[in-house]
Amino acid sequence: MKKIELEIVALSHSITQTHSYAVVLGEINGLRRLPIVIGGFEAQAIAVALEHMQPSRPLTHDLMKNFMMAFNVELHEVIINDLQEGIFYSKLVCSSDNDTVEIDSRTSDAVALAVRFGCPIFTFDNILDSAGILMEDDEKKKKSPVQQSDPGTREDLKKLSSQELETLLTEVLEQEDYIKAIAIRDEIKSRKKK
């Protein structure tokens, strides 16, 4: 089967499940999207890596990357290789000096590691056909992968002073809420551009 390369096009609150998030993977040079429901911790891990944030201590996926690198294990690619009863299955294709192995992984963890290693994410036509969404040509927009999930929050941020934003940013970073931190940081950046 031919592998189809995907990229992260969005990360937001899940519409279908409360306290969950969705990572949306898009077919490179194509119109199909693959939404995958993930947990909050995994969403945070992906957001931290996408935004090149540096937590004060390594997150679990950072630890895994450090461990792999310490033992000369390279992550070459992630393959979302199966879908059973609404659950996606993935594998990590890794190699060391003398061996290549495929390691079973939760898809959310595989994506979080792929972002850290900068390796490609692939799937197959049958998975995109059964769980994907076809976008219209004019809907295919290049957006930041991390989407602010609650538009009310964005409006609330606009009401705060620059000093209040800086204080709030420090607070959410201390709480390790990196998804909120990204929205606050973006608001601060947009004000500095003006």
pLDDT tens per residue, range 85-127: 889 999 999 999 889 999 999 999 999 999 999 999 999 999 9
CATH 3.30.70.1400 fits 3-139, yes or no: no
CA 157-170-17 angle, to 5 degrees, is: 60
pLDDT beyond 90 at 152: no
Count of beta carbons in the 10 Å neighbourhood of residue 194: 4
In terms of DSSP H, where are the helices of 125-161?
A: 125-131, 151-159
29-38, 47-56, 74-83, 151-160: which is most confident: 74-83
Question: Which residues are paired to 6 by β-bridges?
Answer: 27, 121
Average pLDDT over residues 135-146: 53
With a cut of 70, say whether residue 185 has pLDDT above it.
yes
Backbone angles phi, psi at 69, to 5 degrees: -70, -35
26: pLDDT confidence band, cut at 50, 70 and 90? very high
Q: Put residue 118 in one of left, alpha, beta given phi > 0 → left and psi -120 to 50 → alpha.
A: left
As a whole number, mean pLDDT of residues 24-31 equals 91
For the chain, give the percent of residues with pLDDT over 90.
42
Q: Per 3-state DSSP, what percentage of the chain is helix, strand, and coil (rounded to 5)?
A: 40, 30, 30
**Residue located via tokens 């192995």:** 101
Say whether pLDDT at 140 is over 50: no
- Tokens 């310490």 correspond to what residue? 70
Q: What is the pLDDT of residue 18?
A: 64
Q: Give yes or no for a contact between 144 and 46, defined as CB atoms under 8 angstroms apart.
A: no
**Whether the predicted pLDDT of 13 surpasses 80:** no
Which of 41-50, 61-70, 75-84, 102-111 is the least confident region?
A: 41-50
Is pLDDT larger for residue 17 or for residue 79? Answer: 79
Quote the pLDDT of residue 149.
43
The confidence score (pLDDT) of residue 156 equals 78
Q: Give residue limits of the domains in the chain.
A: 3-139, 151-193
Q: Name residue 61's amino acid.
A: H
Q: For 1-8, what is the mean pLDDT?
A: 94
